[in-house]
């Protein structure tokens, strides 16, 4: 394993456990088996480490979900399964991306947010294919609802993860959205209307 990878794994573990702000470079070095100053031979500092972790998370998400299907529901199932399996299999990295990405430096945040927008757009487009009679803003709302449900796995206690959370959430997300596809247009009203 390369020294860069050791440092990134150590940082992901520490950032997930204690948050980005609660971890110093020396602690990352100690966890990675190097001195804190040695980290600067690989990364310019904590900000670059966090940006690299967020990029790695997005790389893995895209890799796990980068397949196109003719059927919109098959496409959505693939997105849900890929995203859910990433959050379960890479809990520390997912947790850092989900919770700590907001702390990126301005330039890094812009880069990561552009990539996230493309990923979110893929979801929203797929949901629009599944639910063509719903409004565009509803597609985006449903995208964030599905991603929020899947991303929440990163905060679950270990006991809750034992019951195949991906399979359960896959069914929950897909069944919920399929229910909306059967909902008559006139039944869709805004709360309080």
What is the token pair recorded at 171? 């069914």
Instruction: For residue range 136-176, list pLDDT tens digits in order.
Output: 999 999 999 999 999 988 887 776 666 677 788 788 888 98
Model confidence at 88, pLDDT cuts 50, 70, 90, reads confident
Domains in the chain with CATH codes: 47-183 (1.10.357.10)
The tokens describing 56, both together, are 């790695």
Tokens of 95: 């947790």
> What's the Cα-to-Cα distance from 95 to each of 33, 152, 168, 190, rounded to whole Å?
23, 9, 20, 33
Query: Do the beta carbons of residue 82 and residue 62 sit within 8 Å?
Result: no
Kindly report the pTM of this predicted structure: 0.86
pLDDT, tens digit, 9 for 90 and up, residues 50-59: 999 999 999 9
């Amino acid at each position: 394993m390369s020294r860069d990878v050791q440092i990134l794994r150590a940082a992901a573990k520490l950032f997930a456990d204690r948050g980005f702000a609660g971890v110093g470079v020396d602690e990352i070095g100690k966890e990675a088996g190097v001195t804190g100053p040695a980290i600067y031979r690989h990364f310019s500092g904590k900000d670059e480490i966090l940006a690299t972790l967020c990029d790695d998370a997005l790389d893995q998400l895209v890799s796990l979900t980068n397949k196109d299907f003719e059927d919109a529901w098959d496409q959505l199932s693939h997105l849900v399964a890929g995203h859910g399996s990433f959050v379960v299999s890479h809990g520390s990295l997912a947790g850092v991306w989900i919770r700590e990405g907001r702390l990126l430096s301005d330039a890094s945040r812009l880069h990561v947010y552009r990539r996230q927008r493309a990923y979110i757009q893929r979801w929203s487009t797929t949901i629009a294919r599944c639910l063509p009679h719903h409004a565009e803003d509803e597609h985006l709302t449903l995208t964030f609802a599905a991603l929020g449900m899947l991303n929440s796995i990163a905060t679950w206690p270990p006991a809750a993860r034992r019951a195949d959370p991906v399979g359960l959430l896959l069914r929950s997300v897909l069944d919920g959205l399929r229910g909306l596809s059967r909902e008559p247009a006139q039944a869709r009203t805004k709360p309080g209307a």
